[in-house]
A and B are shown apart, each in its own frame.
Chain A
Amino acid sequence: MSLTRTAPRWRRREGLRALLWLSPWLTGFAVFFLYPLLATVYFSFHRYDLFTLEFIGLDNYRYLLRDPRALVAIQNTLWLVVFMVPVQLVFALGLAQLVTRLKAGAGFFRTVFYLPSLVPLVAGTVSFVFLLNPATGPLNQALRLIGVSGPDWFGDPAWSKPSLTLLGMWGIGNVMVIFLAALLDVPRHLYEAAEIDGAGAWRCFRSITLPLISPVLMFSAVTGVIYALQYFTQAMIAARVASGSTDSPGTTFVPGYPEMSTLTLPQWLFYAGFRDYSMGYACVLALLLFAASMAFTLVLLRRFRGLDEEGGLR
């Protein structure tokens, strides 16, 4: 009888102790994640301009389906996820492979490839736009010398996103360093054994390198996708500088210059909330972004789990 009474009390005490240890995390979770998330859901059903709050049901969600710029922003963001992220990962992996194979000067090249990632985003983007200026940029001037008319990199909607991808590749040093560490961690004897068995370079890469660095690949892919979904600063700065618009009183800066091709979902969210004061609608966009991040992360986790378990890409 006494045992049955004391056991739950003991369990309760253990539970409380566990809660106490967990409380810093729980507090942080509640304050910085749960409350904002619930507030975002709550506001998404309201018209809210920071001062007045009015319940409007699903109007903000219906507006999303009619908002042509939101749809363009979604398409642009997906483009970055589908094209920019893989290109960056492949490029970073290629650079890391290259540096591991260098017999001399590996430290120098490692530093050179890493340095751009230390440049502040705004400064790097402005420099890139000046570098690729169709009239005065050194790249197009050099192309003109050999008789090639260079594109309007950040001013032509067909070229603007590839130009942002170039910018992303230039600043990929931090991912390269992570890949480099993972590559150096692969036991050399596995390659030696495979070579004795007659495996070529591609076979070694596919069957040894890839499976062994897959956790790092997964980490980089997931963080890369989340980063692409939150892509904001470079796109906004590039658009502002390339358009030549000062956004001074009386003039209008058109986000996503040229022709909305660099308008991303986080930018549109920002404009909806903090320029138009349509906070309710901005919350809908934020929830969409959250759902997309979760969906991409889950898909990538499943995909990489398969890679890890089966020892190769499926």
Chain B
Amino acid sequence: MFFTQHHRAQEAPVHRTVLAVAALAALAVSTACTAGTDAPTLGSQPKPSGSASLPAATIELWHGFAADSEVKAFTDAIAGFNKKFPQISVKMVKGVQDEHITQAVRGGNAPDVASSFTTDNVAQWCRSGVFQDLTQVIKQDGIDLSVLPAAARAYTEFEGKRCTMPLLADAYGLYYNKALMKGNEPPRTLSELTRLAKELTVRDPDGTIKVAGFIPSTQYYENSLSHLGPMVGATWYNPDGTSAIGSDPAWKQLLTWQKELLDWYGYANLETFRKSLGDEWGAEHPFFQGKVAMVLDGEWRNAMIAADEDAKSMDYGTAPLPVADAKPDLYGSGFTAGTVIGVPRGAKNPQAAWELVKYLTTDTDGLVTLSNALRNVPTTKAAMESPALAKDANFATFLQIFEHPKTTTLPSNVNSVFNQEAFSTFVLEWEAGRVKDLDAGLAKVDKEINDKLKLSGG
């Protein structure tokens, strides 16, 4: 196949046409990236001198809660807001996921207020401006953010941009079944945890696990690396945002400890046992069924146990997670993250929206109402100390973990999910015994995370 000069001459206009179409398409693409919006931005409207001076409005609140009890809790909390601002009515939309928020902002149909269960997208939202920076209105209203623990402040901002506020928090600790503990106190160190896990494990004559003392696999329900890391004081990132996983010896210590315990069970044996267990969110949960003596879990499990007909009579206790033997000062701390809430770009009533965000995140009554109904940790010190907050000993453990100065979170990062997944992928290979050199493997994880960071623009 070849072209003559004549053919080339005939083809030339076609090429020009193709190029013109391509250029037009590129132009259309580049100009159609985001929908424009004429909505006012936060701080651009005059600040009202009192609650009555705010103009009447109907604002839309998108949240991820879906269960009737959760929606009712939200409605009850909003009732408190309506007492303060009767001229503002709040329309709630339930069951909203992060993608819906991003797409709505992109399409120019943003709600006035939006909340998310996860902190994974906070950095991306702050950087791309999906949520508006609250710094100015926080300053304007004289809100002292030191009422929030440092970890809660960290997971709601990115690179100095505070684009969300913590609504309710989750804290992670140890649940133990007293009947299965055989009189032992909950472990305070990893060595104690190992000893107890072995002591409390019951096997059938053929070696099959019947009851596990503690399941060390990161594939088990809440045993994610972000939840386990605080047990050894491990850090995810260097100050410049690059990965610290390979250079922080704490991760190596955690993985070495975890692998030793896993090998004691036998990887295949433990996997078969893990896969025989019931659903994490149902009545078949192995902790409810007495199949696991100790589990890492969030404060919400208290409410789930109380709500389960069979499990509510279980005699159980809660404690902070055991920590590295050489770091006893970490005991009492743990991991925290939680629901975040903010004012998206394009909100039609940003000032009224901010008043709602402010109420839900800083008003003691509002926070206590939500916490009592949802059994999550309220985020401010005043709410935690409120006499109206329902707290028994098992729930109080999590309030103490949340308040502990050494409690940490997963710092905001534009590739948060990718980074966790890259590390988890490696750890799954490690657990299966397919990693020969742990240091080299962790260095490879660093490289993956850093390469992706570079691709994302640092």
Contacts and interface: CB of A to CB of B under 8 A. Distances in A.
Contacts of A4: none
A35 B271 contact: no
B309 to A, nearest CB: 22
A38 B21 contact: yes
A244 B224 contact: no
Name the interface size band of chain B. Answer: 35 or more
B271 A134 contact: yes
B108 to A, nearest CB: 12
A246 interface: yes
B428 A60 contact: no
Interface string B366-384: 0000000000000000000
Contacts of B135: none
Contacts of A48: 33
Nearest to A43: B29
Contact of B33 (A53, A155, A253): A53
B128 A50 contact: yes
Interface in B188-228: 219-222, 224-227
Contact of A276 (B34, B415, B428, B457): B415
Interface in B112-126: 117-118, 120, 124
Contacts of B428: 254, 257-259
A136 B29 contact: no
A252 B272 contact: no
B95 interface: no
B221 A39 contact: no
A24 B381 CA distance: 65
Interface string A41-62: 0110001111111100001100
Contacts of A253: 421
A39 B421 contact: no
Contacts of B268: 152
A153 B345 CA distance: 47
Nearest to A35: B25
Contacts of A60: 455
A255 interface: yes
A198 interface: no
Interface residues of A, number: 51
Given A38-B26, A152-B272, A68 B448 contact: yes
Nearest to B25: A38
B130 interface: yes
A52 B444 CA distance: 30
Nearest to A40: B29
Nearest to A242: B275
Contacts of B451: 63, 66-67
B434 interface: yes
Contact of B421 (A42, A59, A255): A255
Contacts of A67: 451
B34 A50 contact: yes
A250 B118 contact: yes
Contacts of A250: 118, 170, 222, 224, 226-227, 298, 337
A274 interface: yes
B276 interface: yes
Contacts of B337: 249-250
Given A49-B124, A152-B272, 6 more contacts: A38-B29, A51-B130, A250-B222, A251-B222, A254-B425, A259-B429
Interface of A: 34-35, 38-39, 42-43, 47-54, 59-60, 63, 66-69, 133-136, 152, 155, 242-246, 248-260, 274-278, 281
Q: Which 9 A-B pairs have the closest CB atoms?
A: A135-B276, A51-B128, A249-B118, A38-B25, A249-B117, A252-B420, A39-B29, A251-B224, A252-B424
